[in-house]
Structure 1
């Protein structure tokens, strides 16, 4: 494993996107445990893309405009759905009221996180273009090497996202005790999901 791979992986993982946004929201709304669960779900969401890249499905996705556009717009719709739930104070990003203690289950949070990453065709193409660069051409253990690098990428994703979530959880008490801050937090996260949906919608292969 090269230092170039580690540095590139860390930069990619640390760059804010849907997964980071989702994990930050979980940490702010429900604390460290929820953010770790969200980070775990986002990490699991990379598995289908990794498998697609290893098996060559990414090539099909990259070559087929219809397949790419279909998956892309499903992702756009899901991001808009997440924004709608955020604005309505429901779903995985809701801040539970102290009196009720209601919060979405770990399964629901993980499912939402996985869907966020699955419905992102760029992630599949990223795996297809990124990982092979660090596997020597003609290597007899190319598949094993791809799996090793994918595992490292997934571990880095989980750790970086968990750190983001823990930082958000550290200031949680300063947020949830102030209704105005909570309201604006929901608006910011909802608007951010809409912005991410718009960015995905205009992206080409």
Structure 2
């Protein structure tokens, strides 16, 4: 229960994944918001595996490895900010159900999480706290906890996205609001990039 409550607090707290899922819900509707939630959830898999297998220790001890991954993440967040600001067709009433669009949403979501080394270090510090010392199946236990974490992440992100999608019709009917939202999302991606750069 303690693990689930802690996980809930962490997933509900807005971050890159929530921002991206909400953006997808507003720009492309409910289907895209769920696809984005799937992508963000898949994006944490490498971090969980790195923490479980001990690869996070490499990022912790190697400044070069951490800095390289960090600045790739910064560059991608800034790219997302630029793309959001430049995309004049993002918030329209048209439905976008093309498979290619879904693939693009998932790729962007995965990369947003994948290129954030802080997630690996977070899981490296977080997961072992809920596995007692000397547990005979510690790796299996961490895999089980990781499964719960991913499930809760998907549910929370999908809820954010579906709520945003429900507000979509009200938003796209107001051009001034659309422009303001585009700038807010672009600014938020840029701010997250700056925060990661300074970490």
For Structure 1 versus Structure 2, the TM-score category normalised by the shorter chain is over 0.9
- Note if contact 2:50-2:120 (Cα within 8 Å) is conserved in structure 1: yes
User: Aligned partners of 2:163, 2:105: CA distance in 1, in Å?
Assistant: 19
Q: 2:165 aligns with which of 165, 169, 185?
A: 169
SS in 1 for 2:21: helix
- Partner residue of 1:42? 40
- Partner residue of 1:85? 83
The answer for unaligned runs of 5 or more in structure 1 is: none
- Partner residue of 1:13? 11
The answer for unaligned runs of 5 or more in structure 2 is: none
- Partner residue of 2:27? 29
User: Aligned partners of 1:47, 1:102: CA distance in 2, in Å?
Assistant: 26
- Note if contact 1:23-1:39 (Cα within 8 Å) is conserved in structure 2: yes
- Partner residue of 2:196? 200
Distance 1:64 1:37, change over 3 A: same
Any idea what the Cα deviations from partners look like across 1:51-75, whole Å, max 9, x if unmatched? 1011100001111111111111100
TM-score where L is the length of structure 2: 0.95
User: Aligned partners of 1:184, 1:129: CA distance in 2, in Å?
Assistant: 38
For residues 29-108 of structure 1, the aligned pairs below 5 Å read 29-89=27-87, 94-96=90-92, 98=94, 105-108=101-104
Any idea what the Cα deviations from partners look like across 1:63-99, whole Å, max 9, x if unmatched? 1111111111100000000001001007xx922464x
Structure 1 residue 131 corresponds to structure 2 residue 110: no
**What root-mean-square deviation, in Å, do the aligned CA atoms of Structure 1 and Structure 2 show?**
1.6
SS in 1 for 2:58: helix
Distance 1:139 1:101, change over 3 A: closer
| Offset, 1:102 | 8.5
User: Aligned partners of 1:161, 1:15: CA distance in 2, in Å?
Assistant: 10
- Note if contact 1:24-1:164 (Cα within 8 Å) is conserved in structure 2: yes
Distance 1:49 1:22, change over 3 A: same
Distance 1:173 1:55, change over 3 A: same
Extract structure 1 runs of 4+ deviating beyond 6 A.
Answer: none
| Offset, 1:101 | 5.6
SS in 2 for 1:105: helix
